[in-house]
Structure 1
Amino acid sequence: MVVLLSTNDRFPGWTLLATLLCLAGAGLYCPTLFMAVIQTKDLFQMGGRQLSTDFDLLVEIIKWASVGLSAWMGLMSLVFLCVGCMAKNVTDVRSSRGYDSNVRGGICNGFTIVITYLLFLLWLGVSCFSVLPVFLFYLTAHVAVTIMGTSGGCINLKQFDQLFLLYVLALVGALLVTLSMVHFLMAQAANFVHIRESREALKYEDTKKKEEQELNIIMNSRQNLAGNW
């Protein structure tokens, strides 16, 4: 039995929710990690300690990688939203674009699922990486851990509670983006199933039209023959 899909529900609500989560997570992750890395660098420079060139380079890489990654995720979330809207449109079996449009929509949606899954793995790794500084500060929250500088001074990590908050917010942002990837995957998988069902419905409609046309041709031929006799 072929079920015709509704033409009224064309707006991808789940994809919109995933987009909002991704934008919120990326918008939270970028500035908090950027500021946290800068303050971490200041922490290691206290007490007159000189930082190596490699450490400075690592700090710069992490700072601008967070900016680039967050901007890229914001752009990708909008792309996924557009793909979700197109997927809703191609599932309309009454669409004048027909079977070819449905096939192209299915291929595009399948390719998007692969990209989303890779991004999910990427942000899962980012989330795991973001746990490390939070775990370190949690361990030192009630312990007077100090770092000796070259001048003989000490740095007490307890005075950097604002830095701990920044790393926590960065972790929350990374988790929000990871969660948004899960929502994108669920929405895209549902769209993939709907596209396949609508493709079957289109095949059924095409077959039915061809059978009706053949039947009309046969009936017209019989009527013409009867008229000749």
Structure 2
Amino acid sequence: HTHTHTHTHTQKYTNTRWRLINQRCLECCIKCLGGIPYPSLIATILLYAGVALFCGCGHEALTGTVTILQDYFEVVRSPVDSLDVFTMIDIIKYVIYGIASAFFVYGILLMVEGFFTSGAIKDLYGDFKITTCGRCVSAWFIMLTYIFMLAWLGVTAFTSIPVFIYFNIWNICQNTTVLEGASLCLDPRQYGIVPIAEARTMCTGSEKFYRMCESNELDMTFHLFICALAGAGAAVIAMIHYLMVLSANWAYVKDACRMQKYEDIKSKEEQELHDIHSTRSKERLNAYT
């Protein structure tokens, strides 16, 4: 009987101990989940998705453009180091590499800033004080994000140009069977792709035109440029989302800073009153003695 009683007591103690551990783990998880800046997280995911879509699809679309120019328009790379269309495409590819790496780091920085700002506002990490440096960092991120938003607007406008060009080519390819009597030609000189002196015109009646329309490169490159345009638009929306989040955090930090100053002044006044009261009590005690 004593053995059974001891076993029951031990089991109750173990169950209580596990219940307390689970409760503490649950409280810790709730606290961690409460400290996650969800608006910044959503904006970061949108930014990464947009940048990945723009960089990946843009890079492959430029590679497809090089193939189309070389195979169907018979544009050759300049032997000297001049600024021709192929050199421009190579430069844009390197810019894409830089954009991908830069915004990967920038998304991490904005996410970290969101964590620290949320922690400072909600006081989740103990005695977390808002410093002047922290407010300067928040203001700097707002200015930088606004500049990047304008830059992404320019990138979106620039990406719409090849989408428009490829839409015209794709539209002519779709309507060649309808307009059999019409002779439509594509001249890359009007887009500044080749110099004016070089004639690389391709008309609808030629065999190269039909091969280009039936090829997979044209259709794939056109849709890749559309996806790149969608990615640039998503990056613009992410920048606008970040601006709203950073502006709201700035306002919260400003209010929290004022409240922090008020609490400091109040605690100092209470300490002074306490010191005065203690001094008078000591003086009365001395006088009585």
Q: TM-score, normalised by structure 2?
A: 0.70
Q: Distance in 1 between matches of 2:98 and 2:275?
A: 63
Structure 2 counterpart of 1:178 = 236
Query: Which structure would you say has the larger Rg?
Result: 2
Q: Distance in 2 between matches of 1:42 and 1:121?
A: 32
* 1:119 matches 2:148: yes
Q: Given that residues 120 and 182 in structure 1 are in contact (C-alpha distance below 8 angstroms), is that contact kept between their aligned partners in structure 2?
A: yes
Displacement after TM superposition at 1:142 (Å): 2.7
Show structure 2 runs of 5+ residues with no match: 1-30, 174-183, 188-199
Q: Distance in 2 between matches of 1:133 and 1:228?
A: 92
Structure 1 counterpart of 2:89 = 59
Q: Which whole-Å deviations, capped at 9, do the CAs of 1:102-125 have from their partners, x for residues lacking one?
A: 322111111111111111111110
Q: Which whole-Å deviations, capped at 9, do the CAs of 1:174-215 have from their partners, x for residues lacking one?
A: 111111111111111111011111101111110111110111
Cα RMSD for the two superposed structures: 2.3
Structure 2 counterpart of 1:161 = 219
SS of 2:87's equivalent in the other structure is helix
Q: Given that residues 35 and 115 in structure 2 are in contact (C-alpha distance below 8 angstroms), is that contact kept between their aligned partners in structure 1?
A: yes
Match of 1:78 among 91, 104, 108: 108
Structure 2 counterpart of 1:196 = 254
Q: Given that residues 49 and 150 in structure 1 are in contact (C-alpha distance below 8 angstroms), is that contact kept between their aligned partners in structure 2?
A: no
Structure 2 counterpart of 1:3 = none
Q: Given that residues 119 and 128 in structure 2 are in contact (C-alpha distance below 8 angstroms), is that contact kept between their aligned partners in structure 1?
A: no
Summarize the alignment of residues 119-138 of structure 1 with structure 2, pairs less than 5 Å apart.
Answer: 119-138=148-167
Match of 1:28 among 48, 53, 62: 53
Displacement after TM superposition at 1:96 (Å): 2.4
Q: Given that residues 185 and 201 in structure 2 are in contact (C-alpha distance below 8 angstroms), is that contact kept between their aligned partners in structure 1?
A: no
Q: Distance in 2 between matches of 1:154 and 1:122?
A: 38
Q: Given that residues 24 and 173 in structure 1 are in contact (C-alpha distance below 8 angstroms), is that contact kept between their aligned partners in structure 2?
A: yes
Structure 1 counterpart of 2:171 = 142
- Change in Cα spacing, 1:92 to 1:105, as seen in structure 2 (3 Å) is farther
Structure 2 counterpart of 1:96 = 127
SS of 1:96's equivalent in the other structure is coil
* 1:49 matches 2:75: yes
Q: Given that residues 146 and 239 in structure 2 are in contact (C-alpha distance below 8 angstroms), is that contact kept between their aligned partners in structure 1?
A: yes
**More displaced, 183-192 or 133-142?**
133-142
Q: Distance in 2 between matches of 1:44 and 1:150?
A: 12
Displacement after TM superposition at 1:141 (Å): 3.1
Q: Distance in 2 between matches of 1:121 and 1:178?
A: 8
Structure 2 counterpart of 1:4 = none
Structure 2 counterpart of 1:222 = 280
Q: Distance in 2 between matches of 1:42 and 1:74?
A: 30
